[in-house]
Amino acid sequence: MGGPELLILFAILLLFVGASRLPKLARSMGQSKKEFHKGLKEDQSAEGPCPFCGVEVAEEAKFCPGCGKSAEEIIAEKKVTSA
C-alpha cells in the first residue's frame, strides 16, 4: 500500500465516521436551538394573567386587554414579581 491508497482509506474512514456522527450532531444542535428559542419565547411572552390587573393576556398580544399596559411592561413586571 502506498501513499495515495492510505489517503483514500483515510478519506473513506473520515467520511464514514463523519456520516455516523452527523445526525447526532445535527440533533444536539437542533435541540439546543430549540431550547434557546423556548427560553427566548418564555422570556419575551406576556402570556398569562396581567401582573397589573389580572386579566389574561394572549401570547402574541402587544397590549393588555384589561389595563392597556404594553407587553414589555407586563414582561418587566413579571420578572420583578417572579424574582
Which residues contact residue 81 at a Cβ distance below 8 angstroms, ignoring those fewer than 6 apart? 51
Which residues contact residue 36 at a Cβ distance below 8 angstroms, ignoring those fewer than 6 apart? none
Alpha helices in 1-83 (DSSP H): 3-44, 71-82
For residue 77, the minimal CB distance to Zn ion (Å) is 9
Nearer to Zn ion, 18 or 68 (CB): 68
71 binds Zn ion (CB under 5 A): no
75 binds Zn ion (CB under 5 A): no
The C-alpha cell of 57 is what?
A: 393576556
50 binds Zn ion (CB under 5 A): yes
Binding residue (CB under 5 A) for Zn ion from 45, 47, 49, 52? 52
- Interface residues with Zn ion (CB under 5 A) are 50, 52-53, 64, 66-67
